[in-house]
Amino acid sequence: MLEARNVAFLADAMLGNIARKLRIFGFDTVYMAQAHDDEILKIGIEQDRVILTADKELFKRIVKVGGRGVLVSGGASELEDLVHILTKNGITSVGMNGIGSRCSVCNGHLEERTSDQVKNDDRNNDDVIVPDKVIACHNQFFQCIACSKIYWEGGHLKRIRALVRNLDAKLVGRDCTTTTTSCYRASSVSKG
C-alpha cells in the first residue's frame, strides 16, 4: 500500500468530482451525496474530517459549531478548487506517492494484486474480473478491499499525473501561513 495522507475530508453532494480526485491522490475522503446538512456536520465533527462544501449556509454552520471546513467556490475551475482546499489545509504538495492507495469509488484502501489473482477463472466465465487483453498488457493491479474494484495503469494515469504536476506547481508558495481556524474560515477561492 502506498503513502497514507494525514488529513481526512468529507465532501457534500455538490463536490463529487472533487471527492473522487482527492481519493485518487490518496486522501481519505467520504462523499455524502444524499445526506442532510445535520448529518454532514455530525459525521464531520465525530470523525474529525474537514468538511468541503459549496453551500454558504452549511459553511456558516460548520464555523458556528467549531468544525473544520472549506468553502469551495462553485464558479472556479476544479484545479483552483483543489488548490484552495489543499492550501487551506496546509498541504503544499500532492506528489505521486498517494496515487494508488485509495479507491476512487468507495474510499477503501487498495492492495496490490498479481495478474493471476485478477484474471478470469476458467471454471466460471461469468466471473470475468479483468479482461484477458488487459492482463496481457499489464502486470501490476490494485484491488479495493472494500468494494473489490480493480485498477491498473491505464491511459488516464497520464492525465492524473499531469493534474498532480499542475497542482504542485500552483501550490508552491501558496501554503497557509495564518492560524488553522482562520484558514478554514476563508470564504472564497482566490483566482491568482
145 and 160: one domain? Answer: no
User: What is the domain extent for residue 139?
Assistant: 110-152
Q: Is 112 helix (H, G, I), strand (E, B) or coil?
A: strand
63 within domain boundaries: yes
The verdict on 161 and 70 lying in the same domain is yes
Which residues fall within 8 angstroms of residue 86, CB to CB, at 6 or more apart? Answer: 92, 94, 167, 171
Q: Assess whether 12 and 82 both reside in one domain.
A: yes
**What is the pLDDT confidence band of residue 49, given thresholds at 50, 70 and 90?**
very high
**26, 41: one domain:** yes
Q: Are residues 76 and 17 in the same domain?
A: yes
The residues near 179 (Cβ < 8 Å, ≥ 6 apart) are none
Shared-domain flag, residues 174 and 128: no
pLDDT tens track for 61-107: 999 999 999 999 876 799 999 999 999 999 999 988 888 899 999 99
- The answer as to whether 187 is a domain residue is no
pTM for this structure? Answer: 0.83
For residue 44, being part of any structural domain is answered with: yes
Q: Are 22 and 11 in contact (CB under 8 A)?
A: yes
For 73-100, b where at least 16 C-beta lie within 10 A, e where not — what string? eeebeeebbbbbbbbbbebeebebebbb
Do residues 96 and 34 both lie within one domain?
yes
Per residue in 130-176, pLDDT tens? 888 999 999 889 999 999 999 998 888 889 999 999 999 999 865 44
Q: What is the pLDDT of residues 106-133, one digit of tens each?
A: 999 999 999 888 886 654 545 557 888 9
